[in-house]
Structure 1
C-alpha cells in the first residue's frame, strides 16, 4: 500500500513537470522582430496628404488676405509680398456686393396713385425742405414705388427713412446689391514671423478693409 501511494505521488509530480515544460516550449509569445528583417519606420502625414519626416519642423505657414474689390490694389500688395521673397498667388471670387441703400415708399396700385403721393411730397417740401429726392420707379420689382434717395452708409439711410416716416409717409430702406468680383491674396509666411500685409494694403488704398485668414499651403 505504501509503495502504491509513493508511485501515485511520483506520477503526479512527473505530470505537473511535464505540463510546465510543455507550456514553456509551446506557449511562448511570437517574437516582436524576425531576425534579418529591418524595422519599418512610420512617417507622419503633411498638410498636403504626403508623407513627411516625423522629425522635420514646419518652416512656413500660409495665409489668405482679402477681399479686395479692386484688382489693381490686390496686385500691388501681392507684388510687395513677392518683393520680400515669399510665394504669392491671387484668386478671384464672384460675390454679391452691397452698392448702396435705397430709401423708398412702397409700391402703389398705379402710376397715377404714385404721382399723387409725389405731388403731396412736393407740397410739403415747401415747408420741410428735407425730402430732396423723389422719383417714381418705372419698371422692375419696385415698379410704381417712389425712390427717396440712395445712400452709401446704412445709418444715413435709416435716419432718412425715420425722418420721412415722421412726416407721415411709410418710408422703408433696402440694400442694392450688384454682382462683382473680389480678389484674395494667398502667400506663405515664415513660421514665427508676421508680415504686415494689412498695413501694406492701407498704404496702397487707405479705404480698403481686409482680413487675414490661415489656409492650407498649396505652393
Structure 2
C-alpha cells in the first residue's frame, strides 16, 4: 500500500515539473539559423532594389565592337592550287592579325562548240553532213541521241580563236553554223586576311609579283 502511494506521488511530481519547464519559462525557445555574429543569408530576390541602380553593360560586347573597328579584312585570290594557298599563308604568317582559307565553286569556260543547229529528223541531219563533205568540210559528227539529237557537230575547241576560225570556214561555205560556250564548275581557293587599320599593309611585299587580286570583305 505504501509503495503504491509513493509511486503515485512521484508520478504527479514529474508531471508538475514537466509542466513548469514547458509553460512556466519567461521566454520562448527560438532556434537561430546562424551562429551569433554571422550575417544571415538572403536570396537575391529578397534584397531590396535601390532606385537609380543600372546594371553594368556587357564588357565583352564592347570589346567585340572595338575589335571589328580596329581591323579591316580583305580576300586574296583566287589561287590556282591548294599548294599555292598554303605557300601564301606561310609567307604572310606573322604579318597579319589572323587568316582563314576557304574554297568555293565557280563556273568558267571549258570549251567552245561549233555546230549546225538540230533539224527535224536524222535523215535531214545526214543530208547536211553530205553537203558539208561536198564542200570539202570534214571532221564533223551527226549527234544521234540526247538533247542535241540531229545536230551536226563541227568541233569542240579549247581556244576560242580556233573555234571562231572554224565557224568562219563553215559559214563562208553557206551553212548556218553557230558557236556556243561550254562551261564547267571548278574550285577556287581564297585567303581571307584581317589586318590592323592603324598601319598600311600591302600583301605584295610578302608574295611578290603575281596575278592575284584582292577585295574588301566583312571582318571575321
- Tell me, yes or no, if the aligned pair for 1:98 and 1:177 is still in contact at 8 Å: yes
User: Judging changes above 3 Å, is the alpha-carbon distance between structure 1 residues 65 and 85 closer, same or farther for their aligned structure 2 residues?
Assistant: closer
Verify: 1:79 aligned to 2:90, yes or no: yes
Structure 2 distance, partners of 1:171, 1:68, is 37
Mapping 1:1-219, distance limit 5 Å: 50-52=61-63, 59-82=70-93, 84=95, 87-125=98-136, 131=137, 133-191=139-197, 192-196=200-204, 200=208, 202=210, 210-218=212-220
Question: Which protein has the larger Cα radius of gyration, Structure 1 or Structure 2?
Answer: 2
- Tell me, yes or no, if the aligned pair for 1:189 and 1:195 is still in contact at 8 Å: no
Superposed displacement of residue 184, structure 1: 1.8
Structure 1 distance, partners of 2:79, 2:132, is 41
Please report the TM-score for the alignment, with normalisation by the length of structure 2.
0.59
Identify which range, 98-107 or 73-82, moves more after superposition. Answer: 73-82
Structure 1 distance, partners of 2:146, 2:153, is 13
Cα distance per residue 1:170-196 (max 9 Å; x no partner): 111111122232222111234412111
RMSD between superposed Cα atoms in Å: 3.7
Structure 1 distance, partners of 2:206, 2:149, is 43
Unaligned runs of 5+ in 1: 1-36, 44-48, 126-130, 203-208
Identify which range, 88-97 or 193-202, moves more after superposition. Answer: 193-202
Cα distance per residue 1:112-158 (max 9 Å; x no partner): 32222222222222xxxxx5531222333222212212223444433
Please report the TM-score for the alignment, with normalisation by the length of structure 1.
0.59
